RNA sequence: GGCGCGUUGGUCAAUCGGCUAAGACGCCUCCCUUUCACGGAGGAAUGACGGGUUCGACUCCCGUACGUGCUACCA
C-alpha cells in the first residue's frame, strides 16, 4: 500500500517570494490535490541572521492571492506542528548525536578563522574551492583528528562546535529523481556538510531530512539548485535508518534570465522592467522595494497558468488551464528537465487572455481601485459597461484607466495638431450645426447620434472620413478607443456637447 | 578548477525510431476596422557538433562543445 501523499513547500522567510518559488508551490499543490494528499507549508527559519520581519506573513499573503492555500502551516497548525523550524530546534540535536554515536558524523571545533585559513592555504588554480572533506578533515580540529581526551576537554570547556556529516569514501550514492531519472554522485566529491551549527540550530541539510521524516513527507519537490546536495540528504536518510520512508525526489528546472546567464533574480526584474516577486515586497531593513505581479495588474489565475506552463505542458496544444484542470492534468513525467528563460511578453499575453474571459461586472470590480487611484469615482454599473467596451485593448489592470480615462474625465487633447492642420471654417460650421442638432435629439443612443451625424455631414457636403477622426480626438483626446458614437452615448449629451465646444474654442 | 544536471526557431515548446519537425508568444505582410485594439489570412525563423547503433534517428549510445547549478556554521 502506498503511503499517503504529503508534500511540502519550505521557504525561508528572508524576502520576497520569487516566481520560481510560486511555481514550486503550484506543483506541490497540484500534486497534493490530484492525489488527495496534504500540502504543508513549513517555514525554514534556521538562519537567525537572515530573519526578516514580516516575511512570513508576506508568504501567506502571496499564497492566499494565488489561491494555493496549504492544508497545514504555522498559521493554520496541523497534526505535525510546530511548522516553524526555529520552534523545532530541540528536535534536531538528538538526531545529530545519533549520527555522531554511529560514526557518521563528528564534532568540529574549527573557528571561522581556521576555516578561512584552510581554504586560503589549500586554494590553487586547480582547486579554487577546497572542501572540508575526507581529504582535509585530518588536518582540522575535529573529533576525528583529535584524541578522545582532547575532544572531551574541549567539550567540557564549552568550546563552540558544529557537527559535520562524515562523508564516506569511494561510494556512489544513487537515486531516482522523478524528473531526471537515475542520478548518481561519487561521495569523494561531496564535502562534510555542517549538520548542526554552533548556535544549536540545524542547517538546512539536517532539518529537511528530520522534518520531512517527522512530517511524513512522501514527495519532495524543490529547485534544481538542490540537486548537488541531494547525496548528503540521501545519506542522512540512510544513516538515520529511515531509507524505506524516504520521499521521492523531484528537482524542478530553474527559471532563467530572459537574456541568458543564470537564474532569474530580483535584479533582472528591475533591470528589464518586469516583476519577479508575486507581490510587492519592501525589505524592512533596507527599505528597498521590488514590484510584484499582483500590483503590476496581473490576475492570479493568469499568473498561475503562466507559471504552470513554464516547464510543463499536458502534451496537447492547450495553453489555458483553470486550476481544476491543472489538478487533473498535471503530471511530473511531463515536467521539463531543462531550465526555461522567463518571457514577460508571454506572461502579459496570458493576462490578456484571462481578462477577455471576464464579464464587465467582474472587470469593474478588479479595475475599480486603479480607476479610483486617479480620483475618478464611477458607479460599478457604469464602470462595468466601460470595461466591456475596452477590455480587448487591456492587458494589465492599470490599462483600464489608460484605455478608458476619457469615460471618467474630460481628456486633455493630446492630438490637437492632428485636427488643427486640416481645420477650416467648413468643419467649424459643421460641428456647430451638429451640436445644435444633438441638443434636440429625442433619444441619446449611439445609433441616433450616428444618424444625426450622417445627416449633418450630408447637409454640409463633407466627407465622413474627414470628420470622424477630429470628433474622436475631441471626445477622447487621442487616436484610440472604442467606437466614437458608443463613447458619446456613454459620456452623455452634456459632456459630448461640452467637449466638442471646448475643442472648437481651441482653434 | 571539480562534480551534477541540461541542450528542438529569438522565447515557451510537441514529437516516446518513420518528419514534408506541431502549436503558442514575439516579429513581418495583408484583410477587417473611417482610430486603437480584437479577429482573420499568410510569412520569416528550429533539431549544438562529431561519431556510432539501425532499413530508417530530433528521437537510442558515446564523445566534444555550449549552457546552467552546486562547491558557506545561507537556504
CATH number of the domain within which A152 lies: 3.90.800.10
Question: Nearest nucleotide, C1' to the C-alpha of A126?
Answer: B1
Residue A407 lies in a domain: yes
Nearest nt to the A480 alpha carbon by C1': B36
Last residue of a domain, which of A252, A275, A292?
A252
Mean pLDDT of chain A: 95
pLDDT in tens, A149-172: 999 999 999 999 999 999 999 999
Measured distance CA(A354)–CA(A319) in Å, rounded: 12
How many distinct structural domains can be found in chain A? 2
Q: What are phi and psi of A298, to 5 degrees?
A: -90, 150
Is residue A1 over pLDDT 50?
no
Asked if residue A237 lies in contact with residue A99, where contact means CB atoms within 8 angstroms, the answer is no
CB A33 within 8 A of CB A68: no
ipTM of this complex = 0.96
| Residue A367 to residue A353: CA distance in whole angstroms | 16
pLDDT in tens, A425-459: 999 999 999 999 999 999 999 999 999 999 999 99
Is residue A141 included in any domain, yes or no?
A: yes
> What gap in Å lies between CA A278 and CA A455, rounded to an integer?
54
Which pLDDT does position A434 carry in this prediction? Answer: 96
* A353 inside domain: no
Claim to verify: residue A370 and residue A489 sit in the same structural domain = yes
Work out whether strand A194-196 and strand A181-186 pair parallel, antiparallel, or are unpaired.
unpaired
Read off the DSSP letter of residue A256. E
In a domain, A433, yes or no: yes
Mean pLDDT of A314-319: 94
Instruction: Indicate whether A60 belongs to any domain.
Output: no
Asked if A331 and A250 count as a contact pair (C-beta separation under 8 A), the reply is: no
Q: What is the pLDDT of residue A2?
A: 64
Beta bridge mates, A184: A174
Query: Which pLDDT belongs to residue A312?
Result: 96
In a domain, A496, yes or no: yes
Cell of A479: 487616436
- The Å distance, CA of A116 to C1' of B71, is 15
Work out the average pLDDT over A245-266: 94
What is the CA A142 to chain-centroid distance, rounded? 43
Radius of gyration of chain A (CA): 32
Domain boundary among A226, A252, A278: A252
Instruction: Find the helix or strand (DSSP H, E) in which A105 lies.
Output: strand A105-108
Q: What is the distance between the alpha carbons of residues A384 and A396, in angstroms, rounded to a whole number?
A: 16
Q: For residue A66, is it within any domain?
A: no
Catalytic residue, from A266, A337, A346, A391: name it: A266
Q: Is A373 part of any domain?
A: yes
Closest nt to residue A127, judged CA to C1': B1
**Does the nearest atom of strand B lie within 7 Å of A56's Cβ?**
no
Answer with the one of A199, A222, A252 that is the final residue of a domain.
A252
CB neighbours (10 Å) of residue A77?
11
CATH number at residue A390: 1.10.10.350
Tens of pLDDT, residues A187-218: 999 999 999 999 999 999 999 999 999 999 99
Provide residues 22-41 of A with CB closer than 7 Å to any strand B atom. Answer: none
Domain range for A139:
87-252
Taking residues A332-354, what's their average pLDDT?
A: 96
Q: Which is it for strands A248-252 and A219-223: parallel, antiparallel or unpaired?
A: parallel
SS (H, E, C) A403-444: HHHHHCCCCCCCCHHHHHHCCCHHHHHHHHHHHHHHHCCCCC
Gap from A187 CA to B65 C1', Å? 27
Question: Any catalytic annotation for residue A266?
Answer: yes
pLDDT score for A287: 93
Amino acid at each position: 500500500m502506498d503511503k499517503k501523499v504529503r508534500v511540502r513547500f519550505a521557504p525561508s522567510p528572508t524576502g520576497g517570494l520569487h516566481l520560481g518559488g510560486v511555481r514550486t508551490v503550484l506543483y506541490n499543490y497540484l500534486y497534493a490535490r490530484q492525489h488527495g494528499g496534504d500540502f504543508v507549508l513549513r517555514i525554514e527559519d534556521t538562519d537567525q541572521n537572515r530573519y526578516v520581519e514580516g516575511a512570513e506573513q508576506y508568504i501567506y499573503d502571496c499564497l492566499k492571492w494565488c489561491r494555493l492555500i496549504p492544508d497545514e502551516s504555522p498559521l493554520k497548525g496541523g497534526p505535525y506542528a510546530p511548522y516553524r523550524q526555529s520552534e523545532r530546534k530541540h528536535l534536531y540535536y538528538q538526531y545529530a548525536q545519533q549520527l555522531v554515536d554511529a560514526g557518521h558524523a563528528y564534532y568540529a571545533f574549527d573557528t571561522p578563522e581556521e576555516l578561512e585559513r584552510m581554504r586560503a592555504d589549500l586554494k590553487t588554480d586547480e582547486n579554487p574551492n577546497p572542501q572540508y572533506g575526507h581529504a582535509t578533515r585530518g588536518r582540522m580540529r575535529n573529533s576525528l583528528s583529535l584524541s578522545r581526551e582532547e575532544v572531551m576537554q574541549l567539550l567540557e570547556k564549552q568550546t563552540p562546535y558544529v557537527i559535520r556529516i562524515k562523508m564516506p569514501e569511494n561510494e556512489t550514492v544513487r537515486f531516482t529523481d522523478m524528473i531526471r531519472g537515475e542520478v548518481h554522485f561519487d561521495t569523494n566529491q561531496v564535502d562534510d556538510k555542517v549538520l548542526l551549527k554552533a548556535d544549536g540550530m540545524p542547517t538546512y541539510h539536517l532539518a529537511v531530512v528530520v522534518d520531512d521524516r517527522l512530517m511524513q513527507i512522501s514527495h519532495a519537490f524543490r529547485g534544481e539548485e538542490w540537486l548537488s546536495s541531494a547525496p548528503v540528504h540521501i545519506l542522512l536518510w540512510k544513516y538515520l535508518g529511515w531509507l524505506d520512508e524516504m520521499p521521492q525526489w523531484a528537482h524542478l528546472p530553474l527559471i532563467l534570465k530572459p537574456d541568458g546567464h543564470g537564474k532569474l533574480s530580483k535584479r533582472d526584474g528591475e533591470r528589464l522592467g518586469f516583476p519577479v516577486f508575486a507581490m510587492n515586497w519592501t525589505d524592512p531593513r533596507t527599505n528597498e522595494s521590488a514590484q510584484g505581479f499582483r500590483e503590476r495588474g496581473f490576475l492570479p489565475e493568469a499568473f498561475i497558468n503562466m507559471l504552470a506552463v513554464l516547464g510543463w505542458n499536458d502534451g496537447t496544444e492547450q495553453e489555458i488551464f483553470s486550476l481544476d484542470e491543472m489538478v487533473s492534468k498535471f503530471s511530473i513525467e511531463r515536467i521539463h528537465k531543462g531550465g526555461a528563460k522567463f518571457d514577460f511578453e508571454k506572461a502579459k499575453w496570458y493576462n490578456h487572455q484571462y481578462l477577455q474571459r471576464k464579464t464587465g461586472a467582474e472587470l469593474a470590480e478588479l479595475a475599480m481601485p486603479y480607476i479610483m487611484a486617479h480620483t475618478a469615482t464611477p458607479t460599478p454599473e457604469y464602470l462595468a459597461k466601460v470595461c466591456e467596451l475596452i477590455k480587448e485593448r487591456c492587458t494589465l489592470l492599470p490599462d483600464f484607466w489608460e484605455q478608458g480615462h476619457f469615460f471618467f474625465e474630460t481628456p486633455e487633447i493630446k492630438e490637437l495638431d492632428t485636427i488643427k492642420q486640416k481645420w477650416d471654417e467648413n468643419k467649424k460650421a459643421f460641428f456647430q450645426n451638429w451640436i445644435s442638432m444633438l441638443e434636440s435629439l429625442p433619444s441619446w443612443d449611439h445609433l441616433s447620434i450616428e444618424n444625426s451625424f450622417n445627416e449633418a455631414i450630408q447637409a454640409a457636403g463633407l466627407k465622413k472620413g474627414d470628420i470622424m477622426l477630429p470628433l474622436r480626438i475631441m471626445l477622447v483626446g487621442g487616436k484610440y478607443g472604442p467606437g466614437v458614437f458608443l463613447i458619446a452615448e456613454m459620456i452623455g449629451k452634456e459632456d459630448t456637447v461640452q467637449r466638442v465646444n471646448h475643442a472648437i474654442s481651441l482653434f
